[in-house]
Each structure stands twice: as structure tokens, then as C-alpha cells.
Amino acid sequence: MLVHIGYNLLQVAVVIGFAPLVEGVLARLKELVQSKRGPSIFQPYRDLAKLLCKDEIVSRRSSWIFRTAPYVAFTAPVFVALLIPVLTRYPLFFAFMGDMLGVGFVLAFGGFFVALAAVDSGNPYGPMGASRTRMVGFLTEPVFLIVFMIISLVAGSTIPYIVQSEWIRSPAAFFAPWHVLLVIAFLLLILAEDGRLPVDSASGHFELAMIEKSKSLEYSGRGAALMKWGGAMKLFVLMVVFLNVLVTPWGLAGPADTSLAGVLLAVPLVLLKMLIFLVVLVVIESSLAKLRLFRISEFTGAAFVIAVVAMVSRLFAA
């Protein structure tokens, strides 16, 4: 049991440690696609180190919410990392603390706090971003619920570990048409939730058009570092849920081999899967233009339709 706690903490360490790397690789890939060289993939680490050394300036008008938000934003993905199969297929110590809905709640809690802080900051762009994030959230949450419902129909549970082993157990379910639809719907949700194109431009610098980034404009020093790091970890855990639970449930340390070596071996495999996913993400992001704000509902509407079709075809599969 102690070993399981250890592995669980190792998972957290992997998430914290590699999240900036994922961010760096993504940025580099994007530049490469545009035939530029781009910054080193370790640039996010340098940024974080630089920010952590700098002084923090906080508006006198702001309240405690503004000051605590970065810590919440940082810890929410850390908690999530305890619940999901980052490295192992067998459930670890905290696996049954929360299911996929729980994962959603924890991330939403972090997001909620950040939105509050954005309103608190007094910067006019902050509340604008916060309200837009809430709008996207309203549109994506029903779809998330449908996706989770289908998953629970299949696996009889929404505990990520159990869902993941279900795909491995029955390849027929894995290849079923509704599974593809489910995956696509979830991918659209990740794009919307993480502020990726075509919903939001993560690398844009135009405040009026920002959705996700405008909420952390007022942070500096350590606060900015934590927000940035938290954001990277959020993408990381969403990818873990997407890849390890839904799309490619292979490559993790199996129940047969519970040694530390097996668990450590899973790290490069998971990172490799992520690399492939990042390539797909970059292709999506470089081939799509940002949607106008009011067309976001069409985007999430598409995700909704796909999810419902998946549900119908799952419910009535003979």
C-alpha cells in the first residue's frame, strides 16, 4: 500500500515536472510548422524560473481571492493527478477518491477561482475573459456530462481506471462506432476547455480577443509562474485523461508488473503518446482560424451533436 502511495506521488511529480515540457514542445512544434526555428523546448522552465525570482506586484484594490487564486490553479491539477491513470493501469491509493466527474469538478473549481480572481483584479479585460470562459463552460459542461454518461454505460463506472481497463478487455467496444464519436467529441471539448483554436487563440496577444489568457494578465512574479504552471498542468491532465483513458489505453504499467522499473518505463511511453497528440493538436491549431465569439456555440453544438449520436448508437446497439 505504501508503494501505491509512492507511485501516486510519483504520478504527481511527473505531472508537475513534465507539464512545462509539453508546453515547450507544443510551442516549438507550432513554430516548426510555420517554418520557423522557435524557442528551445525547455523555454517554459526558464520562464518559470525567471518569474519565480521576480517580485510580485499586487493591486491594492484586490482581495485575498486574487492572491490565493494562483495556488488554487496550481493545486487543482495536482489533485487530479492523484485520481487518474498517468502511469499505471492498476488503481493506486487515491484512485477511488473521485471519478471522472470528480476530475471535472476539481478542474472546474480551479477555473472558477481564477475567474473570480480575474473579476477581483480590477483590470477591465479580466472580467471580460472570465465571462467568456463561463460562456464556453456553460456550453461544454452538458457535453461533458453526456460523454461521462456514455462512459458509465459502457464500463459501469466512471472511475478512470475501470473505464480504461474496459477498453482493453473488450476490443469490440474499443472499435465501436460510438467510441470514435465519443473520442472526437471529447477532443472538441479539450480544445474548448483548454482555450485552443478554433475557440480561443492560446498564443494570441490581442487582449480584446482573449478568452483564457486575459484572466492572468494582472499577475506577476510568483503568481504569474503558478498560473502558467497550473495552466500547463491542466492541459497535461486533460491529455492524460484523453489518451490514457479514452484513446490509447496501452503503454501503461500493467497489473502484472508492479515494480518501480515498470512504472518508470511508462513515463517515456506516455510522453511519446503525448508527442503524437501534440502533433495532431498543432495540425488542428494551424489549419483552423479562430471562431467569432458567437460561433463558439456552433462548435460546442457540434460536440454536443456528436456526443448525443454516440449515446444513441450506444443505447440502441444490438
Partner 1 sequence: MQAPSTSLLLSIEALASGLFLLTALGTVAARQLLTCFHLFVWQSILLSASAALLGLALSSPHLLAVAAITLATKTMLIPWLLRKTVHDEVYRIREIDQVLNIPTSLLLALVLAGVGYVFFVEMLRGIAVPAYALVNLPIGVAVLLLGALTLTVRREAVAQLLALLVAENGVFFAGIAIVPNLPAIAELAAAVDVPVYTLVVGLLTRRIHSELGTTMVGRLTALRED
Which residues would be at the binding site for partner 1 (CB under 8 A)?
171-172, 174-181, 184, 297-298, 301-302, 305-306, 308-309, 312-313, 316-318
User: Shortest gap between Cβ of 248 and partner 1 (angstroms)?
Assistant: 14
Q: Which is nearer to partner 1, 206 or 294 (CB)?
A: 294
Cα separation of the two ends of the chain: 42
Compare residues 213 and 314 and give the one whose CB is closer to partner 1.
314
* Rounded least distance, CB 301 to partner 1, Å: 5
Min dist CB 280 to partner 1, Å, is 15
In angstroms, the CA 140 to CA 162 distance is: 24
The helix (run of H) or strand (run of E) holding residue 159 is none
Question: Nearest distance from residue 180's CB to partner 1, in Å?
Answer: 3
In the complex, least distance from residue 167 CB atom to partner 1, rounded to whole angstroms: 12
For residue 274 the three cell numbers come to: 503525448
Residue the block writes with cell 473570480:
116
Q: How many of the other CB atoms lie within 10 Å of CB of 172?
A: 7
Q: How far is the CB of 259 from partner 1 (least distance, A)?
A: 31
What is the nearest approach in angstroms of partner 1 to the Cβ of residue 269? 23
Between 17 and 301, whose beta carbon lies closer to partner 1?
A: 301
| Contact indicator for 271, 111 with CB cutoff of 8 Å | no
CB 83 within 8 A of CB 160: yes
**CB closer to partner 1 out of 78 and 181:** 181
For residue 160, whether the previous peptide bond is cis, meaning omega lies within 30 degrees of 0, is no
For partner 1, the closer of residues 190 and 308 by Cβ is 308
Q: Which is nearer to partner 1, 109 or 174 (CB)?
A: 174
* Closer residue to partner 1 in complex, CB, 64/316: 316
Check: CB of residue 51 under 8 Å from CB of residue 208: no
DSSP symbols for 14-61: HHHHHHHHHHHHHHHHHHHHTT-----TTHHHHHHHHHHHS-----TT
**CA 107 to CA 115: how far, in whole Å?**
12
CB of 306 to partner 1, least distance (A): 6
Residue listed under C-alpha cell 469490440: 172
By beta-carbon proximity to partner 1, the closer residue of 162 and 306 is 306
**Nearest approach, Cβ of 262 to partner 1 (angstroms)?**
27
When the beta carbons of 49 and 317 are compared against partner 1, the nearer one is 317
| Contacts (Cβ under 8 Å, ≥6 apart) of 208 | 125, 128
List the one residue out of 212, 211, 278, 266 whose CA is nearest residue 242: 278
Task: Give the span between the Cα atoms of 257 and 261, in whole angstroms.
Answer: 9
* 161: its cell numbers: 481506471
